[in-house]
Chain A
């Protein structure tokens, strides 16, 4: 039976179910298959902090949103076109986000009295006409999965667990995908357990064939490949990209990469990824706490490794004292803060941009440190590499800010050639002649003198040092000089970073200034506004301390500066204090990426309706 194929350019699907339903896995598989089909894509996983919240509850709902398209896209989308809802709670939580007229695929078997009650439905939404504005497709997914798996030899419970593959297979059919890549993955993942492998494969195929044979669907859809820049691609999450950027930096610098960390959401995947790369000589040290991770990284740096410590907000706070030591010792060190909702434990699995002021200023004493931030999941590679380059060249701790959205979200990445990556020269001091631990080069940088080199024995420490000799000094004028030298060194990095670029007109009515993980939402919004002839440009900052040296000039060329952030105005505060310019703030601190639609409305309002 053949069905018509409708062509679409852009689709947003959200898979939602219990945290035990395998929604992250389903979403990831759909993403990989979609990437291989050549679409541009962007993902937004969203899961509860609890590992297995009680089944059927609202707070136990886990979701994975995926947008794919035949053009270049920058965000995972505000409103899904399709909601795959594995139970009533998932429907309850996500229905409000669905586009008017959107499609809901529900597993009707999960809509029993108990689940409806847990989700807080007074009546069954499938029968009470409350979903008439949507296209509801009812599929008894659990029952169909059980039927398909008769004879495989699994228990009822085990069979039920395969239902996410049925749903995945059905979605593959609906979007004209093949099941091949997922079948291969199932074989690799469950090969050791032939029954499970068989069951998952059967469920996947049963879902696919169901689409073909059922009369519920009149047509299926097709999204043509995007016209991406030619080259070799892979799909990558921010944390994977960060890990690869660090490995690349270690290889290019020709020194071992040393990653010391304490497990923390959402940064742990960097540790997991790096611990797999031992054949690159990568040393990973899971420390007893955040402070020890920072301390071990400082020790490794002193001994001549490319030292990195990664964490999220609460851990960054614990490391603060150690980073001040790193600044005093003037040793290279990369600190990665994968920001999440705060303060305190806050929203551990959600995204936020609220550590900017903390990493910029959150240390005792006059303790300047460079701060840079990644813009997209794949950009985490570039910025991790850049953080290492700056740290080594300037003998300083460097903060790299990413966030929960970048860390877990993914996008296609045009793979760089290793040989094209910029060099990271490392100069260990070896000549004892005239060696002074705190003598400085033209960039105000002291030598990296590592233990084991004869004739360079010297002591460094947290006490203030005499300029040049590095001996302990309590001299008032010396302290004043050293404080200024440390500040000057970091300030001087501005001459070594790219000038700030502006997207759109270089002067005009409004410049939207953003940083970090909001790049996608902001750029796509500005693109859309420019298409409708609004006089708005966009500057996305990747360097936050020091700022690009032309930033002041750039800001002066616009009448209005509009700063959207997932915090209460931290970049806004920095811009105001640094450049004395008035700024218009747009702040949403919901633990989620900024919505393009809301942002667009706010920008238009600030423009005063002018075009």
Chain B
């Protein structure tokens, strides 16, 4: 007799199946539209029925995301999405749980929940829309805004150093750490698919343009003329080559990375650093590139490692105890311990 596997969708979905009936209310031109579209495009590729997807968010522009997804969703409170999502995933590990968050939501007010979700390796797919600004509150600097940035709350510039989200995620023991960009839909789709298929916490930093309060924050990385000279795509097992004409590379001089030209005959592709996404050391090194003058900003998967997830260990522990002690009997439990009988007399 054939059995029905509940975890496999009975029909083939299209992106449209994942669009809810609610009007999308982000500002026209916002990078969030692209992220929404790419998520809706990749979901049919996964063998997960629609009703098993849950989108949890906090507060901010990014956090309106669940309303637009035809799936289960909770629009939570500021910074707490990883906590709520941890509850959903551990209560029912069969669900595919996504977290839509922003740089302020996850790194400022929700910093604690963010690092602890990563540390525990709970099966959450955390998509962090990083626009380096507070959009919904109309333009204050965020914990990823560059030092000295002039914003509504810092008319003379910030005196506040930013976080490097990839570094932070690696430091918090993230098992899948990646970066992509709203304006690179193909790349974003690839990364989202890999994040979706990872077991444990996936973290994807998505550079996202806020065209109202921080327009052009990532322009140099996304516009045709400048993009290829300023972005290096991380591909597992491939040398780190970049440049408009694939004419530049990254070489490791003992411990120090350097950008070299492949044109002047001094260095060839064979001299370049070959990326290995299972190397934590390389991931930590590459995470610093976005802040090193003269270096390209890496996008792609920085790091991936297989590690048992929190919910797997939680489930196993319960199974082990049930096996050892037998399934709980409430009446026996109530009547356990040092009991005595008072008889009628």
Q: Which residues of A contact B (CB under 8 A)?
A: 32, 35-36, 38, 181, 225, 228-235, 244, 247-248, 251-252, 256, 258, 260, 277-281, 283, 285, 287-289, 291-305, 307, 321-322, 325, 329, 415-419, 450-463, 471-472
Contact = CB atoms under 8 A, between A and B. Distances in A.
B80 interface: yes
Given A234-B337, A472-B67, A296 B84 contact: yes
Contacts of B324: 279
24 contacts: A32-B338, A230-B341, A230-B342, A230-B344, A233-B341, A233-B342, A251-B328, A280-B328, A288-B116, A292-B80, A299-B89, A303-B87, A322-B80, A325-B76, A415-B335, A417-B331, A417-B334, A451-B72, A457-B50, A457-B51, A457-B70, A457-B71, A458-B73, A471-B22
B328 A454 contact: no
A299 B77 contact: no
Contact of A283 (B51, B94, B318): B318
A35 B330 contact: no
Nearest to A324: B77
A322 B78 CA distance: 10
A288 B112 CA distance: 7
Contacts of B337: 234
B82 to A, nearest CB: 8
A228, A277, A459 interface centre (most CB from chain B within 10 Å): A459
A251, A279, A305 interface centre (most CB from chain B within 10 Å): A279
B52 A451 contact: yes
A498 to B, nearest CB: 22
Contacts, number: 213
A38 B339 CA distance: 10
Nearest to B328: A280
A229 B345 CA distance: 10
B91 A322 contact: no
Given A38-B340, A292-B86, A299-B88, A451 B76 contact: no
B241 interface: no
Interface in B41-73: 49-52, 54-56, 59, 66-67, 69-73
A325 B91 contact: no
A497 B44 CA distance: 49
B301 interface: no
Given A300-B91, A451-B88, A454-B49, A295 B338 contact: no
B147 interface: no
Contacts of B112: 288-289, 292
Contact of B334 (A230, A415, A472): A415
B83 interface: yes
Given A233-B341, A292-B113, A295-B84, 6 more contacts: A234-B337, A258-B91, A279-B326, A299-B83, A415-B335, A462-B75
A296 B86 contact: yes
Contacts of B339: 232-234, 415
Contacts of B88: 299-300, 302-303, 451
A278 B54 contact: no
A281 to B, nearest CB: 6
Interface of chain A: mostly helix, strand, loop or mixed: mixed
Contacts of B85: 299
A329 B91 CA distance: 18
Nearest to A236: B337
B74 A329 contact: yes
Given A279-B327, A279-B328, A285-B87, A244 B333 contact: yes
Nearest to A231: B342
B153 interface: no
B318 A278 contact: yes
A296 B87 contact: yes
Given A247-B333, A292-B86, A453-B51, A303 B325 contact: no
Contacts of A322: 77, 80
A502 B241 CA distance: 84
Interface string B113-126: 10010000000000
A452 B80 contact: no
Contact of A459 (B67, B95, B321, B344): B67
A452 B92 contact: yes
Contacts of A291: 80, 83, 113
Contact of A304 (B73, B77, B91, B342): B91
A462 B331 CA distance: 40
